[in-house]
Amino acid sequence: MSLPPKNITFFGATGGCTFSTLRHSLLAGHNCRVLARSPTKLLDMLSAHSIDLSSSRLHVVQGDVTDVEAVKEALVF
């Protein structure tokens, strides 16, 4: 019996620990939303680790944690 995918939001996903957790979450089939100041950097990192970027399980929001609207968008699945 398999569990349904979880919805997870990440902040600071280009850092070591958070990036690793994001990567494993995507590989496990979870729905991930990421707030990133530099989406290109994040997507390049994921691509370098053979993560399928065409997946609808990944949604990247450009912005930072001081931008309330970007944080709201990152939190709403």
pLDDT digits (tens, 9 = 90+) for 24-45: 999 999 999 999 999 999 999 9
Q: Report the Cα–Cα distance between both ends of the chain, in Å, rounded.
A: 25
Task: Report how many domains make up the chain.
Answer: 1
Asked whether residue 64 is domain-assigned, the answer is yes
Range of the domain at 64: 7-75
Contact 42, 60 (CB under 8 A): yes
Handedness of CA 28, 66, 77, 41 (dihedral sign): negative
Instruction: State which H helix or E strand residue 48 sits in.
Output: helix 39-48
Asked whether residue 1 is domain-assigned, the answer is no
pLDDT band at 52 (very low <50, low <70, confident <90, very high): confident
* Mean pLDDT of the region 49-53: 88
* Tokens at 27, concatenated: 């590989």
Q: What is the pTM of this model?
A: 0.88
- CATH code of 38's domain: 3.40.50.720
- 3-class secondary-structure state, position 50: coil
